[in-house]
Structure 1
Amino acid sequence: MRNLTPEPLTAEAFAPFGDVIEASDRAEQVAINYGYTTRFNDLAAIDVGDQGGRAVVSLFRARPLAPPVLKIFERHPLGSQSFTPLQGRPFLAAAAPAGDFDPAAVRVFRAGPHQGVNYRKGVWHHFLLPLEAESDFLVIDRAGPGQNLDEVELTEADWILVV
């Protein structure tokens, strides 16, 4: 098993895997509702149309993984998948590039309490990893025909302990 320390979640660091969803100066900001609201526009490339897919919005309630040992990764070849925390708690995002899974290529990011992620179609990632307590996430992903889930179970030698 190898140890991996989470790196801060930034748009630049996460770019190989998808989009960071956050209200930041990088986003196009549009005043709406007579100036009472700021819209942070087009924050993620939701990509779910392959083979007749459609976007679905769900809530996921996830428990922390204790100890934080990463053993299983998944990918969605037909659509992107986004996770946005709803309770202002940080979480971890573990990802590896699309293509053949390489455990040595896994990176772990620490998302701040007001950041979300959108994994690109085909990017390997771990299931939800809340840190402090059971947490709710707004999830946008694909529903529709076709096989849209591949999983890989790591051998014990490739397990990753997040420290």
Structure 2
Amino acid sequence: MTLRIIAQPLTAEAFAPFGDVIESEGQHSFHINDGNALRFHDVAKAEFSGDAAHVGISLVDVAPYQMPLAVTLMEKHPKGSQAFIPLDNEPFLVIVAPRGPEIRIEEIKAFITNGRQGINYHTDSWHHPLVSLKDAQRFIIVDRIGKDDNCDLFHIEPGQLEVALS
């Protein structure tokens, strides 16, 4: 039997167990650059551990997935947070599960962004790779860069879990 979950709108409160929502709404802000820019200050915290590591900024282009999505793989990063900030103003799908050594598929949640929200996964939070919905999308990634392994994978048997938008 396939468990089917419906993606819910992404909110800071609902996503808090898994990470931070990166958005301007409701955030502390102040003017900088002689009043020409409004800074939304400290909206997420980059986390990382390890002596030979640093926080890096990267770009990624994500091809669209077909919906409903058959979920077969989740990942987590035990040594640092991982943020994705969309550049194309298009909604994308976020699939997460609570921290822990394994995943119980009945605890997996799915959220759909409004296209302007980014996400920052807490260290060790399970998540699905980025899911673009209609077209290819570009994201900024902020995460831990190091020579040691920082990605644990969890495989889900095909046919066990499906995510839908409605």
TM-score category, normalised to shorter length: over 0.9
Could you tell me how far apart the structure 2 residues matched to 1:96 and 1:51 are? 28
Aligned residue number for residue 54 of structure 2? 54
Q: Contact 1:86–1:137 (CA<8 Å) still a contact in 2?
A: yes
TM-score normalised by the chain length of structure 1: 0.94
Q: CA offsets, 1:55-94, max 9 Å, x none? A: 1111110011113221100000001000111011000110
Task: Give the unaligned 5+ runs of structure 1.
Answer: none
Q: Unpaired runs of 5+ in structure 2?
A: none
Q: Distance in 2 between matches of 1:88 and 1:58?
A: 18
> Aligned partners of 1:148, 1:51: CA distance in 2, in Å?
13
Identical-pair percentage: 35
Greater displacement, 151-160 / 30-39: 151-160
Letter in structure 2 aligned against 1:30: F
Separation in structure 2 between the aligned mates of residue 95 and residue 50 of structure 1, nearest angstrom: 25
After superposition, residues 15-30 of structure 1 pair within 5 angstroms as 15-25=16-26, 27-30=27-30
Name the counterpart of 1:2: 3
Equivalent positions of 1:122-161 (< 5 A) are: 122-161=124-163
Which amino acid is 2:9 matched to? P
Structure 2 counterpart of 1:73: 74
Asked if structure 2 preserves the Cα contact closer than 8 Å seen for 1:74 and 1:125, the reply is yes
Paired residues of 1:69 and 1:162 also in contact (CA < 8 A): no
**3-state DSSP of counterpart to 1:50:** coil
Higher helix proportion (structure 1 or 2): 1
Which shifted more, 49-58 or 91-100?
49-58
Query: Residue by residue, what CA displacement relative to the aligned partner does 1:10-64 show, whole Å, maximum 9, x if unpaired?
Result: 0000000000000112x11011011111000001110023343211111110011
Contact persistence 1:52–1:144 (CA under 8 A): yes
Helix, strand or coil at the partner of 1:142: strand
Which residue pairs with 1:101 in the alignment?
103
Residue 70 of structure 2 contacts residue 158 of structure 2 at CA under 8 Å; is this kept in 1? no
Q: Matched residue pairs, number?
A: 162
The letter for the 2-side match of 1:161 is: V
Distance in 1 (CA, whole Å) between partners of 2:163 and 2:132 is 15
| 1:121-143, Cα deviation, whole Å (9 max, x unpaired) | 00000001011200000101111
